[in-house]
């Protein structure tokens, strides 16, 4: 199994409406792209100052499934349209478990 974890920090230009739209687009990746055995997108609970704003966690049965997702045109379109324009920072990790 491969776990893909992405942490997003949104720019000041990403108002509440924009953030909602972006999170909805990210959540639709589960049905629009698929291939995951687990998928969650959540906003930070606001418990600690300095945290990132949003997290995406996706589990894939194998490396090939992760690469299919990562290279899928729908996924790439969501990143280009809904993520990159509003991004202040991003960090990601993939690991086997």
Q: By C-alpha distance, which of 97, 88, 71 is closest to 12?
A: 88
Total domains present in the chain: 1
The pLDDT, as a whole number, for residue 48 is: 96
* 71 falls within a domain: yes
* 1 falls within a domain: no
Residue 74 near residue 32 (C-beta atoms within 8 A): yes
Q: Report helix, strand or coil for 4.
A: strand
The pLDDT, as a whole number, for residue 7 is: 98
Burial 44-56 (b: 16+ CB within 10 A, else e): eeeeeeeebbbeb
The pLDDT, as a whole number, for residue 72 is: 98
Residue 10 parent element (H or E): strand 2-10
The boundaries of the domain holding residue 35 are 12-45+63-90
Query: What residues in the chain have per-residue pLDDT under 50?
Result: none
* 51 falls within a domain: no
Neighbours of 21 (CB within 10 A): 15
Phi-psi region of 4 (alpha: psi -120 to 50; beta: other; left: phi over 0): beta
The pLDDT, as a whole number, for residue 37 is: 98
């Amino acid at each position: 199994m491969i776990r893909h974890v992405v942490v997003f920090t949104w720019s000041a230009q990403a108002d509440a409406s924009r953030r909602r739209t972006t999170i909805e687009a990210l959540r639709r990746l589960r049905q629009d792209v698929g291939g995951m055995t687990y998928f969650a997108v959540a906003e930070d609970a606001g418990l600690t100052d300095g945290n990132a704003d949003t997290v995406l966690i996706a589990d894939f049965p194998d490396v090939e499934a992760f690469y299919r997702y990562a290279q899928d045109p729908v996924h790439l379109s969501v990143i280009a349209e809904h993520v990159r324009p509003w991004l202040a920072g991003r960090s990601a990790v993939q690991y086997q478990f």
